[in-house]
Structure 1
């Protein structure tokens, strides 16, 4: 892979526009997460964590506390305190589903999942409409581009973690 210095490269206006749109999406998604926090009567960090737990479980790849810690950028101790709050409020369960009984799996309760889905039904209409009206070809190109961007960010995060 060629080393590209992001500070000295001459970027095209299209490349700059893409980076701005990605930043805008991150900001807007953060605001949606804050609305979810209000909807669920949770602090922002708790709503973010609950959203990650629900998304992972619904995708068939439930998270462990360590995976959640990495995703939300918290220490394991802070994540444990957050998980204790979510569990006490009836939003999540922790179970040992693996052959390795030390591994804990996080799952949303059905009540938390239903409440979050009710929010998505109200908050996601505009996003759903864009997805519904975008051609399969365009979606495929965007998905491939975002996969490459995500892979690049994953590589940078791995390099920076060493």
Structure 2
């Protein structure tokens, strides 16, 4: 239970930090989740499509369209036809949004890096495995509840 309570506290602190970014840039929680999903896909060199984003965020296609229109109007994303399948639209983060996000989150990354510096490589690997297992377990629990 102690680990669960600490994860809950971490989640609250990260949410509070993300609210600061959202408030500064007129973004809602779902907007931030969408930007992260699009950015993560781009970093993995995997195309993100509107339908894939809808599935990842558990949104209807119409809600996803409204979300994408809002993010595009704010200049945060681009929507372009796929170079391999012209019927498909692919999403990407605009370079200016990457810079704004990087500038805002850099202090957090610096603080986290300093906090983690005291751990050995072996300890950080254990923490990495713990976090991956926790993310997977949370996803499974969410899916179980969603099926009810």
Give the distance between the partners of 1:37 and 1:30, measured in 2 at CA.
Answer: 10
Q: 1:62 to 1:22 in 2, by over 3 A?
A: farther
Paired position in structure 2 for 1:155: 140
Aligned CA RMSD, in angstroms, stands at 2.4
Unaligned runs of 5+ in 2: none
Which protein has the larger Cα radius of gyration, Structure 1 or Structure 2? 1
Paired position in structure 2 for 1:34: 19
Deviation sequence 1:51-110 (CA, Å, 0-9, x none): 332333234334322333344343221121011011122110112336344433211111
Moved more, 85-94 or 132-141: 132-141
Give the distance between the partners of 2:29 and 2:107, measured in 1 at CA.
Answer: 19
Give the distance between the partners of 2:100 and 2:146, measured in 1 at CA.
Answer: 36
Give the counterpart of 1:76 among 61, 86, 93: 61
Give the distance between the partners of 1:85 and 1:61, measured in 2 at CA.
Answer: 23
Give the counterpart of 1:122 among 107, 110, 122: 107
Paired position in structure 2 for 1:53: 38
TM-score under structure 1 normalisation? 0.75
Moved more, 28-37 or 45-54: 45-54
Q: What number of residue pairs does the alignment pair up?
A: 147
TM-score under structure 2 normalisation? 0.81
SS in 2 for 1:90: coil
Deviation sequence 1:9-64 (CA, Å, 0-9, x none): xxxxxxx0111111112211211211111232333432332233233323433432
SS in 2 for 1:133: coil
Is 1:106 aligned to residue 85 of structure 2? no
